[in-house]
Amino acid sequence: MAVNAVEVEEGRVVQLGLIGLGKMGGNMAERLRRAGHEIVGYDRAPGKRDVESLPALVEALAEPRVVWVMVPSGEPTKATVKELAGLLAPGDVIIDGGNSKYTDDQVHDVMCREKGIGYIDCGVSGGVWGLENGYALMVGGTKEDVAKAQPIFDALKPPAPVDESGQEIPGAGYVHAGPVGAGHFSKMVHNGIEYALMQAYGEGYELLAAVDLIEDVPGVIASWTQGTVIRSWLLDLLVRALQEDPALERISGYAEDSGEGRWTVEQAIENAVPMPTIAASLFARFSSRQEDSPTMKAVAALRNQFGGHAVRAVQAQEAERPA
């Protein structure tokens, strides 16, 4: 028998519909179940889902319903939210926990409000480690809608850290950032910063590896993880990657971007906020996809034209490439 999603007294199970049971969504469902919540999951893959369709998921939940959408951003999310808005009832709440652009949230909110349905956007960080460590959550929505989903957020977020006296430090790992759109805007900026941090670590790694003076590059990187001002979880993950592949020989230097770095730079331009580091890290990813940079071809040609500097013929470059 389905339970009421907002009956959250001690000892009560909280119910959630979860759409998208991939790496993130599947782990989130498992973390919530471990916390005692009832999860009704739907995924396009038959082996993962509890119900066969979105109508069946809605039917399985008691009113007022809370449904979390965890599918790829863009058209998949738009289509899912639109279908849900046609199935849910006034008082129900939709949460978009994917990497949607904040402007999409504002459009979805208007559509849902017209039907009396609440809408929350939630930026989620934690990746595949979130199952055990918890997820950092950045939430946008009304206080009333967020309160309906608060037990879910409380179960997903990391355990509260404690200060030297043993008191919990409030706010760590979770924030109600503002109205609809604020959650994904916060996550967008978070990911822009992430781009820049990864680029800085990568450049430091390359310089260490480029000189004969440093005999233990992975050891130097690992030494930075304790007692230094640049220690971070990302640095820990770089150490892990170097333990598995010390020279990173099994990895191509091609780096995709999920879109949020681009959106961050767009907002920097729109708001006249100087953001050279994040912008440079985004452009570096674009450079990683070029086998031979047209820009640098032009630079080489110009150096040859004004100074007579030597240029390498394409045939010579191809001959030098390893098979």
Looking at the structure, tell me whether residues 23 and 77 fall in a common domain: yes
The pLDDT tens digits for 17-39 are 999 999 899 999 999 999 999 99
Q: What is the pLDDT of residue 13?
A: 56
- pLDDT for 313 equals 74
- CA dist., res. 148 & res. 310, Å (int): 68
Question: Is the peptide bond preceding residue 64 cis, with omega within 30 degrees of 0?
Answer: yes
**Contacts by 213-216, CB closer than 8 A, 24 or more apart:** none
Q: Give yes or no: residues 90 and 216 share one domain.
A: no
Q: Name the least confident of 11-15, 21-25, 168-172.
A: 11-15
6 belongs to a structural domain: no
| Residues 171 and 134 sit within 8 Å (Cβ to Cβ) | no
Regarding whether 111 and 47 lie in a shared domain, the answer is: yes
Does residue 2 form part of some domain?
no
| pLDDT given at position 12 | 53
Asked if 165 and 79 sit in the same domain, the reply is yes
* 4 within some domain: no
> Which range marks the domain in which residue 132 is found?
15-179
Contact indicator for 105, 132 with CB cutoff of 8 Å:
no
Same domain, 314 and 278: no
CATH no. for residue 201? 1.10.1040.10
> Which position has the higher pLDDT, 73 or 8?
73
Please give the pLDDT value at position 316. 46
Task: Give me the pLDDT at residue 105, please.
Answer: 97
Q: Is residue 5 part of a domain?
A: no
Sequence letter at residue 119: Y
Q: Both tokens of residue 190? A: 């978070």
Instruction: Tell me whether residue 125 is in a domain.
Output: yes
| 3-state secondary structure (DSSP) of residue 322 | coil
Compute the C-alpha angle 100/45/88, nearest 5°: 55
Q: Which pLDDT score is estimated for 253?
A: 82
pLDDT tens-digit series, residues 102-158: 999 999 999 999 999 999 999 999 888 899 999 999 999 999 999 999 999 999 999
The closest of 116, 106, 108 to 178, measured between CA atoms, is 106
Same domain, 29 and 168: yes
- Looking at the structure, tell me whether residues 282 and 296 fall in a common domain: no
Q: Which residue numbers are catalytic?
A: 187, 194
Average pLDDT, the chain: 89
For residue 137, tell me if it sits in a domain.
yes
CATH code of 103's domain: 3.40.50.720
Whether residue 249 sits in one domain with residue 228:
yes
Predicted confidence at residue 11, as pLDDT, reads 40
